[in-house]
Chains A and B, each alone.
Chain A
Amino acid sequence: QLQLQESGPGLVKPSETLSLTCTVSRGSISTSNYYWGWIRQPPGKGLEWIGSVYYSGSTYYNPSLKSRVTISVDTSKNQFSLNLSSVTAADTAVYFCARDFVRGVMAYLDYWGQGTLVTVSS
């Protein structure tokens, strides 16, 4: 079945850019009707949707993070990526990637990566 795996630095300095990649295996990222999303969870807190990208490159972002977020896709590598700029300690969280179905009245995330902890600290 489909597998997703996050990768990237576990430590980022304040004011720098957090960059993560999600590699999709056992399935194609170029699948109709599915976006590919990023979700984060600060230690001890709830889930927050960051944004999602379609294989065509179309994106939609959480309005509260939109000014700092870029999500892109590389279909040749079956990967999608997250860049979050100007990070602060408040961006310390476990970051998950997931397959995101959003169509009509439905929205759900059916496959998830295991998550990766990113700490913002000097």
Chain B
Amino acid sequence: SSELTQDPAVSVALGQKVRITCQGDSLRNYFASWYQQKPGQAPVLVIFSKNNRPSGIPDRFSGSTSRDTASLTIAGAQAEDEADYYCYSRDSSGDHVVFGGGTKLTVL
């Protein structure tokens, strides 16, 4: 089991806002980063260092953290946002890194 816990599946209506969460004790001390993965493709970094977007990532993607929970919010989900999303951060020891189990986002 992962030290970072994600809901296995989340759905959102087209154009609506959705939040994907990642819970873990280490998130009280370390920032999460977030990755989007579509079938058959490598993951793509969408949020790093709490709420920074790499070049080319739409501004509808944002990140936040509260206590032990990091969140990825998509404001106005598009059909192309349907994918698996993973969080990633240091583990509770601080000596290693770990992925969350992943959340499958369905855009209805």
Which residue numbers of A lie inside 8 Å of B, CB to CB?
39, 46-49, 52, 60-63, 96, 100-102, 105-110, 112-115
Q: Is the CB of B102 within 8 A of A109?
A: no
Check B88–A109 contact: CB distance below 8 A.
yes
Contact of A115 among B31, B42, B101 (CB under 8 A): B42
B76 within 8 A of A: no
**Interface presence of B61 (CB below 8 A):** no
Tell me if B43 and A108 are in contact (CB < 8 A): no
Chain B 1-49 residues near chain A, CB threshold 8 A: 2, 29-31, 33, 35, 37, 41-45, 48-49
Contact flag A105-B31 (CB < 8 Å), given A46-B99, A46-B101, A47-B99: yes
Give the total of B residues in contact with A, Cβ under 8 Å.
28
Contact present for B95 and A106 (CB under 8 Å): no
Q: A-B pairs with CB below 8 Å: how many?
A: 69
B98 interfacial by beta-carbon distance below 8 Å = yes
Across the interface, A107 reaches (CB within 8 A) one of B31, B44, B54, namely B31
Q: B45 — which chain A residues lie within 8 A by C-beta?
A: 108-110
Beyond A46-B86, A101-B48, A107-B30, 16 additional contacts (C-beta under 8 Å) are: A46-B84, A47-B37, A48-B99, A49-B98, A52-B97, A61-B96, A100-B97, A102-B90, A102-B97, A106-B30, A106-B48, A107-B90, A108-B49, A112-B42, A112-B43, A112-B44
